[in-house]
Copies of this chain bind each other. A is one copy, B any other.
Amino acid sequence: MSHHPHFFLPGATKRMEALSDGVFAIAATLLVLEIKVPELEKGFTQKELLHEMGKILPSLIAFVFSFLNILVFWVNHDAINKVITRYDTKTTYLNLVFLLFISLIPFTTSFISRYHESLIAITCYGVVLFFCSAVAAVMYHHLAFRSNLFMQAVTMKSRKKIWKQVVTGSVFFAIAIACGLITVYITIFIYALTPISFMFLPQLDFDSAEEEKLKLQS
């Protein structure tokens, strides 16, 4: 099949998508296991319980934040997969390494929930997010510019526009980690902003002429 690189094989990316969806869904849903129900002795008052509940607030914030991060990565993963025709070996292994870092997020979330004032925990959390976005960037670069796995109809202009944003995301995470040496508040601030910036990636545009051809073929 490697002799027909532009040949459109419907469903060729389906199982990799299924595996990725599985890892995304599990990583996101496992996060909830880190929110521990407070343990109180018999005879507790509602006030004591409320007070104990206050202590799980950092876990809850970390849960919401990590959940959204994972799913924003998913949204972009989905957007890219919709315009590729198949996976080559390099993309396959890059995607697996990407999933490895995604599945580390429940650990760093648990870590940051427990030590939310510690620079080490905050750094670890960012390092995993940085690797997620960096591996995603390498994968995107390979797909959009080095290989011919993107549908031909995708315009070079939109490929470049997204490439800029993907790189910006990784750079932001790197800056955020570095800022930790000065003050963790900037770090947390950048962590919070970066996924939001990823939420509004420009769409990949199709060249109308090419798109017509595609429709005729199918």
Interface residues of A (CB under 8 A from B): 1-2, 15-19, 21-33, 35, 37, 39-40, 46, 49-50, 53, 63-64, 67-68, 71, 74-75, 78, 81, 89, 92-93, 96, 99-100, 103-104, 106-107, 110-111, 114-115, 118-121, 124, 199-200, 203, 206
Contact = CB atoms under 8 A, between A and B. Distances in A.
A25 B71 CA distance: 16
B93 A199 contact: yes
Contacts of A199: 93
B53 A19 contact: no
A2 B78 CA distance: 17
Contacts of A50: 120
Contacts of A99: 28, 71
A28 B103 contact: yes
Contact of A35 (B26, B64, B107): B107
Contact of A32 (B21, B25, B64, B106): B106
B30 A29 contact: yes
Given A67-B103, A103-B67, A120-B53, A15 B25 contact: no
16 contacts: A1-B206, A15-B81, A19-B21, A19-B24, A19-B74, A22-B26, A23-B25, A23-B29, A32-B106, A46-B119, A49-B115, A53-B124, A63-B104, A64-B100, A71-B96, A89-B200
The majority secondary structure among interface residues of chain A is helix
Contacts of A23: 25, 28-29
Given A22-B26, A24-B22, A104 B32 contact: yes
Contacts of A114: 37, 39
B16 A18 contact: no
Contact of A25 (B19, B28, B200): B19
Contacts of A40: 115
B15 A46 contact: no
A29 B32 contact: no
